[in-house]
Chain A
Amino acid sequence: MNGNTKQSLYIWSVVVAFTAITVILGDSLGMLSKYPENLALSLTEPLNNGMRWFVVTFGWLFKAIAWVFDWPILFAKTVLHAVPWVAMLVLATYAAYRAKGYGLAVFCAMSILYMVTFGFWEQSLNSFSLVVVSIPLAVAIGFGIGTWGFMSERAYRAIMPTLDLMQTVPAFAYLLPILLLFGFGSTVGLVASVLFAFPPMVRNTIIGLRGVPQPIIESGIMSGATPSQLFWSVRVPTARRQLLLGINQTTMASLSMVVIASIIGGTNDIGWQVLSTIRKALFGESILAGIVIALMAMILDRMTSGFAMRSASLDLAEKKRRQRGWLICGGVVLMTALMAHLIPILSVWPKELIINPAPSMNAGLEWFFLEFRVVLDNIKQTAFFYLMLPIKIGLNQAISPFSWGFSMTPLVTTVYVVLVAVPVAFMVIKGRYLLAVWAALIGLLLYSGLQGVAWTALCMIIIVIGWQTGGRSLAAWIAAGLAFILLTGIWNPAVISLYLCGVAVLIAFVLGSAIGIWASENDKVSVLVRPVIDTLQTMPLFVILIPFVMIFKIGEFTALLSIVIFAIVPAIRYTEHGLRNLSKEVVEAATAIGSTRMQLLFQVKLPLAVPTIMLGLNQTIMFAISMLVITALVGTDDLGQQIYIGLGDGDFAVGMTAGIGMAIIAMIADRITQSISRKMQAKLGIRLEQGA
């Protein structure tokens, strides 16, 4: 055993001992167990006052900006509404064909027909007009800042951490300050969506511009380019693909934020349609509207990525043909627009003809729920009592005659202690001390639950994890973050966030990596899985909620399922990617010395893919947190709920502290998993050297 592991063994033993003491002594520890409320600084008043002062003092400025932004939105709305839907259909279908061929064109045409005939055209256009205005703004801002970050190393160092922060602060939390500053109206949606959508453009701009190969730049200089010629004629065109990818990501972020922003209400758009029907438990309606959002997301994604992937290199004939194609398309659009003048149904779909299967869907759903109530309830109860509650409030409190059939008598406690002690002892005998200590810690946590364990113990555990993975600076950083959470009095909801997120990540990661492994070994599975996770990833978060709310009603279990389903995407993707992209030589060498397929997988491929899989875990956590906030809509009582409440009451302090608290949790998780992955990479590097 080397010094390093010895040291961490001591540290972890101390942690376990301390946790054990807090568990045994329980509430008799007083302040050390429950964080005293009077120690929380009451920041609410000063923060709200500060914000009020700010709004009173600078409000006119933001109102003016809002007024300016109202015009392009109004303009976009007017234009979009003035165009008959057939004309839009022709235009969009042709653009889809250009971007990605017949498949997407057909898909696009069908989707627009769906929106029109099911009566969502107006709402779709209202949402779309916000997206249309926000994309160019976000792209321009992102490109500008990205270029700045590319030109100046100083700017780069300032921009990157700001982007990190902006992308971890939950989208919800953006809304409140914007709402307070700009006042109700479409501008809130626009500003929020621009703010949320420009960071990916910055990143892609920097990556793209940095990635232009040196020889190309040098040949540009030697061709006699002035600095501005070098930028616009050499760098930008060479980085074209990355820039277009940035536009793709910006588009998706913008749409997703426009949908989320409709939560503040007052807009007759598609997000509002989904939200208001969910709240009224009109699931048929909300599914139908949710489908519209999903369709919009898929079309926008495929179209922008299609344009990004398309080669810019066209020969002259092809260029001419495309120009002619667009001209013809323009002609057809004009013609259909004229035709729509004569045939009104082509311009405005009459209300009487709207297809509305929602009532019958609702009836069907009702029948289904009545029929399967017992099964569904059983699923929910089982998960709740045997998985979620123990982690949340601990076996200590979760075990009750009502759910488990027996209560937590001293005998049961003893049995539990033995059940934990036996494997721990076994590990000690095997010499795996660190593992034994961890097992004991998990046993303790399961007994008292995340909510039941003393705040001192939980803080200590988190800080030590940070210290062991990322060194002293990370530990200090985490301590500061936890101090913020404690001092602002949001410890309890933060623990619930931690618990929900933790359980969801656990499930998503285990399931996701299993599927990822399977998909890496089996091409058929891969082909099946890929479109599913692609679609899930482009889906606005709202939409993912709908089916689960429908089946399991509101509550933590619904929240958990939605988070798992969304967070499983990166777990699958990274695992498969990591396993499929190993160095060929290593795999071939292992095959050549006669490994079986299983040996190859578990002893060669998986260990080598661990750093990538860890990055997948990192992304799983990030995805989980962004979904976690949205699940406030289905009634969780975590930080997300606080943000939601703050938004509802216009309470800046409550919403903001909760938002920052969530960002802190996200950043802690991010730093820890990143350092683990880096450590593993370093370790693998060393191992490879030893092997060579």
Chain B
Amino acid sequence: MSVNDSFTPKLSCRNLWKLYGPGVSGFLSDESRLPQNGGDGKLLAQSIREQGGIVASADVSFDLMPGEIFVIMGLSGSGKSTVVRCLSRLVEPTSGEILLDGLNLLQASPKELIDFRRYKMGMVFQSFGLLPHLNVFENIAFPLKLQGMPLQDRSARVERVIALVGLEGREDSYPSQLSGGQQQRVGIARSLAVEPEVWFLDEPFSALDPLIRRQMQDEFLRLQQELHKSIVFITHDFLEALRVADRMAIMKDGAVVQIGRPVDLILKPEDSYVREFTNDVPWELILTAGDIASDNAPPEGVREVSADTKVCDLLPYLSEHDSGVAVRTADHSLYHMTGKDVIAALASGMSTTTTAKS
């Protein structure tokens, strides 16, 4: 199998359409209008909407690489949940292909599908989706119990994930007795209990308050460093995306507008919709020393930093050292960067966004 090949996608989503409303299957029956056959996706979606159909997902394609965190962002109603529900086939796609390890998920029989969900996929929901009549331990053990795993193996597995998400000692509590953050830990633990290869998280932290959210993000990143899952992560918070994403897609009206690394989206937004998202992002959070450093050679004796150091981490140092820092790039050449360069870069960022607005 190709699981270990880091250049073959773990999961591929190809030309995915999901329509709601009466008579939806008819809209896509004309194959020649589909984008993969040379049709125009935007026009097609437009005409479907005019005929009264709801286009929840329009020609969405992307690849999820092994061990990658892929973030989907977009406004409310832009189709993020629809896409991720199609990937797990909680929602039946109207058209398209979903390949998991090269196997088409849409052709899986109900039984195969149940097996995929039991052994390969995990999903975390915004509203947790815990079973109110089961305690923490039983909730986490629930998928394992459905698989028919013997009690002893089950307990061992559950103990392990409980430790992983830091819920030791709460095994006997019921969902109603837990805080939101704790409930989501249970949700995460439950989806991890089956040791899935692909992990879907639909706005996992949106229901939590900012402080807890940040803490959970940190823990999520820590977990991922340990587990190396292939992850599709949905959020509408750009800062959250920034923290966790390896790559991300921005969606609008069911279609993907742009896919790329977060920095690419900020520095080279495809259109004003994408720019709106990146507007409020503090640039010092994403700009690295390499992005800002001047072409000049640094003076002797200043502190040396690597090019991928985040600017925000250098601000305290720069404020006290007018002489700036030396930036070492990947090809080992040295450049000079001072507080002034930082200010200039941030100012230019401001001006690009303000011109974009006007």
Contacts and interface: CB of A to CB of B under 8 A. Distances in A.
Interface of A: 213, 215-216, 218-226, 229, 233-234, 237-238, 240, 311-313, 315-316
A300 B216 CA distance: 48
A234 B131 contact: yes
Given A229-B146, A313-B176, A224 B115 contact: yes
B193 to A, nearest CB: 9
Interface residues of B, number: 35
A649 to B, nearest CB: 53
Nearest to A316: B172
Given A226-B114, A316-B172, A219 B125 contact: yes
B191 interface: yes
Given A223-B117, A224-B115, A215 B133 contact: no
B128 interface: yes
A339 B275 CA distance: 86
A221 B133 contact: no
B135 to A, nearest CB: 7
A221 B90 contact: yes
Contacts of A234: 131
Interface string B114-148: 11011101110111111111110000001100110
Interface string B137-177: 00000110011000000000000000000000000111011
A215 B146 contact: no
Given A226-B114, A313-B176, A237 B133 contact: yes
B251 to A, nearest CB: 20
Interface of B: 85, 88, 90, 114-115, 117-119, 121-123, 125-135, 142-143, 146-147, 172-174, 176-177, 187, 190-191, 194
Contacts, number: 77
B131 A224 contact: no
B127 A223 contact: no
5 contacts: A222-B117, A222-B121, A222-B123, A223-B194, A224-B147
B133 A218 contact: no
Given A223-B194, A237-B134, 13 more contacts: A216-B129, A216-B130, A218-B85, A219-B187, A219-B190, A220-B131, A221-B117, A224-B117, A224-B119, A237-B131, A311-B174, A313-B135, A313-B174
Nearest to A236: B133
A382 B187 CA distance: 70
Nearest to B119: A224
A221 B147 CA distance: 12
A219 B190 CA distance: 10
A234 B142 CA distance: 10
B133 A312 contact: yes
B125 A218 contact: yes
Contact of B131 (A221, A238, A311, A316): A238
A223 B177 CA distance: 23
Contacts of A238: 131-133
A640 to B, nearest CB: 45
A224 B133 contact: no
Given A224-B146, A313-B174, A215 B128 contact: yes
Contacts of A213: 127, 129
B115 to A, nearest CB: 7
B190 to A, nearest CB: 7
B139 to A, nearest CB: 9
Contact of A216 (B90, B131, B173): B131
